[in-house]
Amino acid sequence: MVAVKREFELSHVFKDVSKLEDGNTFYGPEEEHFNVQWRIVLIHQKEDVAVFLRYLHPKNEQAPWKIDSEFTLKLSNSSGKSVTKTGSDIWNSYDALGFCDVFEWDSLLKDYLIDDVIIIEVAVKIKNMSGIPKKKLKSFERSNEEFSDVILAVGDKKFFVLRKFLASHSTYFETLLLGNFAEADKSEVKLQDINSTDFQNLMEVRYGEYAIDEETVDGILHLAHLYDMPFPIKRCEEFLVDSSEKSTKEKLKVAKKYQLENLKASCLAKINTLEEIKAALAGDLDEMDPSVVHALFRKSLALH
């Protein structure tokens, strides 16, 4: 499976840099990545110049958010001379100025400017992001009504879908929508106690979109298991095996909860030292899969 990687790059050629007066700012163009607007900012502050990666979050005081990122900044000129800086930050304020790296103004002018131009590139890896609405990869709204024959009401959202398509991929929906229940004759069916965002993500995966990442995998897996949908379960397991940065202990908990044998085997194969065994066994052993505990004790004995 191709996993969703929240990584992107920004670059901008800043011209007439020597004309940037003390206290003034040059802005790079805005770019959208992961439903967020980003831009590079260059500021002259007395004897220094600061380079920022600015995150432009829509102001919504009702929605707390957080972005945990790693990034690499490269400042270079047309001759290839460059300086690279790395860093990380957690942003959780509106209209945030995230990454700041400072250079001496005189040094910038003397050592890097050619034709009064510098090039700034920023590579960003988002490790964790919460409170930011994910852009929908597929619409199930009224615009899809022509290609649907039932409405699934989830919270305050309505999903226009085909009964037979869902039924062919889920024993739960086969029974609910095509069986002897009253819902089989209804044009609108309400699904109780379901998060509409998780359901949107589940439907996207079932319709072939790459909607699984660190933020969505738990919700998708929960609903896929609840509705007995093998395809999303398989895709979630592949993501957890191949791409997820969850700890081995976290993955083993998920493997036990949803009977993911490939994930369990993958985790066990990666536990090979006494330190790794101790980390995996930390906590209440009664909550762990007995077969995992047994396998880890056998590995421990083999290492002594």
- The phi, psi pair for 79, rounded to 5°, reads -85, -10
Q: Can you tell me the distance from the alpha carbon of 294 to that of 296, in angstroms, rounded to the nearest whole number?
A: 6
Beta-carbon contacts of 209 under 8 Å, excluding residues fewer than 6 positions away, are 137, 138
Residue 94, pLDDT score: 53
Give start and end residues of each alpha helix (H) in the chain. 105-111, 163-169, 171-178, 196-206, 217-226, 230-242, 248-258, 261-270, 274-281, 290-303
Confidence at residue 61, expressed as pLDDT on a 0 to 100 scale? 47
The encoded tokens of residue 96 equal 């945030």
Q: What pLDDT score does 1 carry? A: 45
Contacts of 63 (CB under 8 A, 6+ apart): 131
Torsion of CA 19, 23, 27, 33, to 10 degrees: 150
Residues 6+ apart with CB under 8 A from 235: 1, 205, 212
- Amino acid letter at 209? E
* Long-range CB contact pairs, 198-204, < 8 A, 24+: 198/222, 198/223, 199/152, 199/154, 199/157, 199/159, 199/223, 200/136, 200/140, 200/157, 200/159, 201/134, 202/227, 202/229, 202/232, 203/138, 203/140, 203/159, 203/161, 204/136, 204/137, 204/138
- Helices 248-258 and 261-270: angle between axes, nearest 10 degrees: 160
3-state secondary structure of 146: helix
CB neighbours of residue 170 within 10 Å: 22
Question: What pLDDT was estimated at residue 96?
Answer: 54
pLDDT at res. 2 = 46
Structural contact between residues 54 and 70, judged by C-beta atoms closer than 8 angstroms:
no
User: What's residue 127's pLDDT?
Assistant: 81
What CATH number has the domain spanning 7-130? 2.60.210.10
Domain 142-303 CATH class label = alpha beta
Strand 150-154 relative to strand 188-191, pairing? parallel
99 in Cβ contact with 73 (< 8 Å): yes
The per-residue pLDDT for 63 is 61
Give the domain ranges of the chain: 7-130, 142-303
224: Cα separation from own chain's centroid: 19
The low-confidence residues of the chain, meaning pLDDT below 50, are 1-3, 61
Distance CA 215, CA 68 (A): 12
Closest CA to 48 of 100, 87, 97, 124: 100
Entry field: residues in the chain: 304
SS3 129: strand
